[in-house]
A and B are shown apart, each in its own frame.
Chain A
Amino acid sequence: MSDVVEKTLTALPSLLSLDSQPGAGKLSITSKLGSLIKNITELTSKHEESKLIKKELSTIKEQISSPHTTLRQMKEIMVRMIYCEMLGYDTSFGYIHAIKLAQQGSLLEKRVGYLAVSLFLNENHELLLLLVNTVLKDLQSTNLVEVCMALTIASQIFPKDMIPAVLPLVEEKLQHSKEIIRRKAVLALYKFYLIAPNQVQHIHDKFRKALCDRDPGVMISSLQIYQQMIKDCPDGYKDLTGSFVAILKQVVGGKLPVDFNYHSVPAPWLQIQLLRILALLGKDDQSASELMYDVLDESLRRAEINHNITYAILFECVKTVYTIHPKSDLLQKAAKCIGKFVLSHKINLKYLGLKALTYVVQQDPNLALQHQMTIIQCLDHPDPIIKRETLELLYRITNGQNVTVIVEKMLAFLWQSKDEYTTIDLVGKVAELAEKYAPDNEWFVKTMNTVFSLGGDVMQPDIPNNFLRLLAEGFENEIEDKQLRLFAVESYLSLLDKENCNFPQRFLQVISWVLGEYSYLKTDTHPEIVAERLQKLLDQSTISQETKSWIMAAITKLASDSVCSSTVTEIAEKHSVCLDTVQRQHAFEMKALLDDRELMKQILPKDASCEDIEVDISLSFLDEFVANALDRGAAPYKPPHQRQQELSQAKALNFEPYGLSLPISASSYSIAGRQSPTGLSLSSGLSGNSAEMTQKKGSNSLKLEGVKKVWGKEGYLPQSETAQEVNHPSASCPDVEATTMEKLVENASVQSDLLPVALNVKDQEKQQLASSLFVGIGSHDTLSLMGKSENNAQRFRKRSKLKEYSKETERLSRDEFSLQSPPQNLLDNANFSESSENLNGLGTLFTSKFSKKADSTTLDCDKMSKQEMLTVPTKGSSLLFTSDDMVVVKPSHSPAEISFLPSSNQYFSLPAELSQQAHSEVVQLAYNDFLSLSACKIYQKDCLLLVVFITSYSSTPITHIELCFPQSKLKVFNSAAHHFHSLEAKSTVNCQSCLLMEEPCAQLDLVGNLTYHLESEEISELEFSLTLTLLDFVRPLIISTDDYGKLWLSFANDVKQNLNLLSNAKDPLTATLNVLKDNLCLHIVDIIGKESIIACQLLPSIPCLMHCRVHSGMLAVWLRSPSPDFIDCLLYHCQRILQEK
């Protein structure tokens, strides 16, 4: 708010400097603008006004385009245009002239030009770019007024992209000798901070200088920036708490010039802003809060003058006192202040008091008790805004006892209110309270009915959804659930009985769902009757198409329950000729289901809306179809982004043989979010699978084939899709809200006798109301009541079924994993240190064993890593894999990269336990005269260990070395930053970090920097980067054929692709697979004839399964994984490798 005061104040002197004597800007009736305004005021109708202005605008248009118009006239025209635009008439034809005027005019004309630009244009307007040069020129001007104008426009509107162009000039102005320029520069920087915070990051220390400026105006403007920055990140500015307190002390103590006084209160808006900053800093921070107590006390004491502005300061002070770490005597004083406000006869103060009370009632419910009679009075206040604020207050003190009264009051207000925003807000609150504290079923259903009919179609869609979910999921008690549902059914039937009632669509949807799902509970009403009611509804003209679908679904459900009823058949017949396709489809589905009773029972089971429906989203029952099509030579499915790329490539002439579709260069490879090629389908007969699966077990053939057969037979039922849609009201998750509310009422206890007895109440009724409203609020000891809150525990527990479900599946899949791939346990972080110790031992064993062979420095790396793998298995299990099932731990995509350097020759010596593991060559990342950085990748089982060597060339020690590589796409364990106090001359240190990929990508660059101090105390920096590929993070996944079959089914994303086959080899399949295995770190699970299955995983645990078969000279691969990105990246590497061969 005070930024406006600031702007007004800063604008005034420049105005004064422009006009020699005050009052020169006065309008004279003889001026053109004056007569225009006079004419408009005299008109009586809007129509006449628009006629007049249109005429005015056409003259302006004519004049503006005339070449004879002088700048002086242009200035006058601009002013009239501003006025017309302000009245809501479009003058965009003249915007360009405003910019011209700002460019070319002399001082006063320029000023009007700038003013017009700031009023006409917005930040994103394209014409604004034309202004940048003018602003640049004026910033460099020697005329102070021009500089002022340029700074003002920069603080009002400036294109975000052009900030770097003017930033140095504006920064320079912070040192200007005139305080008005410094002030405006600070405001311009504030604007820059708001639209592009990153660009002004480097001048934070200059802001501090502005805060300490000798001119209070500059200091005040800098507070704008600080308030915003502290709001964004309170922890970064705790050290300034003392300064802000000191400033406030000076202001309160009247140390500012008298010019800043307003009705003899020193700089009130500044005080308010400082109080806000203090609240932000002191929140949840005891030590910062302690610094403030004195000055807050002072502020509370000083504000004794009876004037609105002191009350405004008091209000802010109270808010701050209740926001920061509490101090009891301050709280007492603040509470007294609130009391003064609430009891005041001035309505504005009363409002402020209620607002303050609403704010503090969460911490101090007793305060609401003290003022309960006033609150009751406010509830009946003629001014709706007071009522509204009171309801807000009541909403916060609601508990199990007073909920009925409070909700009644809220609904009464809702009946009167016409405002849409109020309705949406209040309806949401009522629904929330009803769900949480409903005393009984009847009340709950009735309240929700009112909510639905009042809230209509404007309310938040999650209200009906939550309601339906509550009904469907039920609570602990089975009988009560039934009662609630039955009551809902009864109340809806009676509602539908009434003639000519117009319910909102959402309400009708709720009604039809409940009737369809639960009318079987009402045994004394025949489903036929319910169906008739619904039919009547269906025939109403006011019903929307969406609602009709809900009703049709409900009728279908009813039909499944009863023996063939004539009404249903009639409806089905009638709507099967309906013009609306969706409805017609519903009708046909209904008909089909009526003919097949068995199927109907199966798809529409009774009271099963909460049962989870098994969905096979990979459409695996179509696998056979797809495989057959592929066999017949159909093109495999390609994800959209791939097709796009092919299209763009196809434009150029292609001399390459067809086959590979992905481009080879990694840089052009983009990973677009790949949609799973599958839609949604339902397979209702899942039980059949397991039988066939077990039957297949033990047979030698690939599991894949068995799988296809299982899925092929079940029919695809589009009907069940609608059923599912209805059955699962979307489960949004209001948990967060719920918990905050819980906290709110946690402090409230159930003791109605706590009400203060000494109340001089005249009105018996009001007291009654009060006792019913404030029952259960207030306590003597809030702390001890924490346990008691269970008394009024939520009746309707909000559950997020979806969440639980996903957690469950997550857990399940993990369990499955650990069962299927025992080595995974070893990858567990917790086991890591132990296992590496073990490795160490085995490693030594291994070196001695192989050192005879390893007489040359380089070894056959492939063999090396294979052999090494033999020794890697850890803890207890000596050898996990037999030799033909051997697994390569690390790919050697370019074999030269992996070398096994003997430590004696090596300048960079890896720690002994690491040098035994597969690792890459040590590569130099960056160097300068003093330092060199090198790195080595160690391919560990559970992560990629990056060892960075820092070597000093300097003859003197280097101190304060800090290495950091903040990565967005990588997960870095241990630490992304390393610090060394000092590095001796000519020595080397190393630091290790474990890396994991957050999201699969083909390759990424690890960028980081090293900062260090040389003798000269200067901080120097060395930047480096290292390319990591997906393959650095891929490890084999060891599983059995059986497990493979199970896993295959559980993955949703699949891709089919043809790859080159190494056809010149003896056994093309095995040769190709071996190449892939060695380079990609895959595990070949099984090879049968012309087919093979392969498994691998992306660390930490994204598996990918491949199925390969030789087909007409190509290798048809079929990949499945939970992550579509992983498949894409892996395919890319497969293609790259096979093409290189």
Chain B
Amino acid sequence: MIKFFLMINKQGQTRLSKYYEHVDIHKRTTLEADVIRNCLSRSKDECSFVEYKDFMLVYRQYAALVIVIGVDDDENELAVFELIHNFIEVLDKYFNRVVSCKCDF
């Protein structure tokens, strides 16, 4: 099950967030900060999945934009990893080169 979906830029700012379970607005900020720290600190040759508290973060980077999906324990990480790409492809088709210019101001 997917818990949340985040788009963050390299500076650590949230560009888009969507929660599929209710999270208190004040907790969101700390959660996002943690997630950003966890994901941005990792190098390219490390695994695209990070453990965070009791769930997994699956992230994928496109230029200066990082997309992070938080999933629970019994999710297939690789499938979610590909889902991110699918999402980007859809955006790309619809908005015409969205990755490089629009989300990533």
Pair B87/A8 contact, Cβ less than 8 Å: yes
Q: Does B86 contact A (CB under 8 A)?
A: yes
How far, in whole Å, are A38 and B13 apart by their CA atoms in the complex? 12
Known contacts A4-B2, A23-B95, A123-B22; is-contact A268 B79 (Cβ 8 Å): yes
Q: Find the A residue at minimum CB distance from B104.
A: A41
Binds B, one of A85-93, A474-482, A992-1000: A85-93
In the assembled complex, the CB of A118 is this many whole angstroms from the nearest CB of chain B, namely 10
- From 636 to 679 in chain A, residues with beta carbon under 8 angstroms from any chain B beta carbon are none
Distance in angstroms from B22 CB to nearest chain A CB is: 4
A41 touches B105 (CB 8 A): yes
CB contacts (< 8 Å) of B18 on chain A: these are 119
What 1/0 flags go to B25-58 for Cβ under 8 Å of A? 1101100100000000000011111110110000
Contacts A40-B13, A316-B76 given; indicate if A27 touches B102 (C-beta within 8 A). yes
- By a CB distance below 8 angstroms, the chain B residues around A37 are 105
Assuming the contacts A8-B87, A262-B86, A348-B48, asked whether A1 and B79 have C-beta atoms less than 8 A apart, the reply is yes
Which of the segments A243-251, A382-390, A770-778 contacts the partner chain?
A: A382-390
Does A1 lie within 8 Å of B90, measured CB to CB? no
Residue B61 is within 8 A (CB to CB) of chain A in the complex: no
- The answer to the question of A308 belonging to the interface, with a C-beta cut-off of 8 Å to chain B, is yes
Q: How long is the Cα–Cα vector from A347 to B81 in the complex, in angstroms?
A: 13
Q: What per-residue 1/0 map shows which CB atoms of A308-323 lie under 8 Å from chain B?
A: 1101110110000000
Q: Establish whether residues A88 and B28, one from each chain, have CB atoms under 8 Å apart when the complex forms.
A: yes
Nearest CB in chain B: distance from A194 CB, A:
11
Q: A106-144 vs B: 1/0 string, CB under 8 Å?
A: 000000000000010011000000000000000000000
For residue A269, CB closer than 8 A to chain B, the reply is: yes
Evaluate whether A41 and B26 lie within 8 angstroms (CB atoms) in the complex, with A26-B95, A308-B82, A352-B78 already known: no
For residue B14, which residues in chain A have a CB less than 8 angstroms away from its CB? Answer: 86-88
Task: Judge whether A5 and B49 touch: CB under 8 Å.
Answer: no
CB contacts (< 8 Å) of B51 on chain A: these are: 385, 388, 419, 421-422
Q: How far is the CB of B31 from chain A (nearest CB, A)?
A: 10
CB of A385 within 8 A of CB of B80, answer: no
CB distance B26 to A347 under 8 Å? no
Write out, one digit per residue, whether chain A residues 331-350 have a CB within 8 A of any chain B CB (1) or not (0): 00000000000000001111
CB pair B49 A348 closer than 8 Å = yes
Chain A residue at smallest Cβ distance from B56: A385
Contact among A5, A12, A87, A348 for B86, CB-based, below 8 A: A5
Using an 8 Å CB-CB cutoff, how does the interface string of A867-893 with B read, 1 for contact, 0 for none? 000000000000000000000000000
Known: A1-B1, A88-B28. A385 touches B50 (CB 8 A): yes
CB distance from A156 to the nearest CB of B (A): 9
At the interface, yes or no: A67 with Cβ under 8 Å from chain B?
no
CA distance A470 to B26 in the complex (A): 44
Chain A residues contacting B49 (CB-CB under 8 Å) are 348, 351, 385
User: Which residues does chain A contribute within 8 Å of B102, judged by CB atoms?
Assistant: 26-27
CB-CB nearest in chain B for A309: B82
A168 at the interface (CB under 8 A from B): no
Q: Are A312 and B22 in contact (CB under 8 A)?
A: no
Given A85-B25, A385-B50; A312-B79 close (CB under 8 Å): yes
Max chain A Cβ within 10 angstroms of own Cβ: one of B1, B16, B87, B105 = B105
Q: Which residues of A contact B16 (CB under 8 A)?
A: 86
Q: Does B100 contact A (CB under 8 A)?
A: no
A272 interface contact, C-beta 8 A: yes
Q: Is the CB of B79 within 8 A of A347?
A: no
CB of B47 within 8 A of CB of A385, answer yes
Output the least CB separation between A42 and chain B (Å).
9
Per-residue B-contact encoding for A38-65, CB less than 8 Å = 1, 0 else:
1011000000000000000000000000
Closest chain-A Cβ to B53's Cβ sits at a distance in Å of 5
The CA of A88 and the CA of B27, in the complex, are separated in Å by 9
Q: How far is the CA of A385 from the CA of B16 in the complex (A)?
A: 26
What residues of chain B lie closer than 8 Å to A272, measured between beta carbons?
Answer: 76, 79
Chain B residues whose CB sits within 8 angstroms of the CB of A385 once the complex forms:
46-47, 49-51
A309 partner residues in chain B, CB cutoff 8 A = 78-79, 82
Task: Provide the residues of chain A in CB contact with B13, threshold 8 Å.
Answer: 40-41
Select from chain B the residue with minimum beta-carbon distance to A351. Answer: B47
Let me know if A756 is at the binding interface, CB within 8 A.
Answer: no
Does any Cβ of B come within 8 Å of A633's Cβ? no
CB-CB under 8 A from A268, the residues of chain B are: 79, 82
Contact between chains at B76 and A1 (CB < 8 Å): yes
- B window 1-29: CB within 8 A of A: 1-2, 5, 9, 13-14, 16-18, 20, 22, 25-26, 28-29
A421 and B54 contacting across the interface, CB-CB below 8 Å: yes
Distance to closest chain B CB from A26 (angstroms) = 6
- B residues less than 8 Å from A355 (CB atoms): 77
B47–A269 touching, CB < 8 Å:
no
User: B71 interface residue, CB < 8 Å from A?
Assistant: yes
Interface string of A252-273 (1 = CB under 8 A from B): 0000000000100000110010
- Known contacts A1-B71, A88-B26; 12 further A-B pairs (Cβ under 8 A): A4-B20, A4-B83, A22-B94, A23-B95, A85-B25, A90-B25, A312-B79, A348-B48, A350-B47, A383-B47, A421-B51, A422-B51
Closest 8 CB pairs of A and B: A122-B22, A88-B29, A312-B78, A312-B79, A41-B105, A309-B82, A383-B46, A347-B47
Can you pick out 24 interface pairs between chain A and chain B where the beta carbons lie within 8 Å of each other?
A: A4-B20, A4-B83, A5-B86, A23-B95, A23-B96, A26-B95, A86-B14, A86-B16, A88-B25, A88-B28, A90-B25, A269-B83, A308-B81, A309-B78, A309-B79, A312-B81, A315-B76, A316-B76, A316-B79, A347-B48, A351-B77, A352-B78, A385-B50, A421-B53
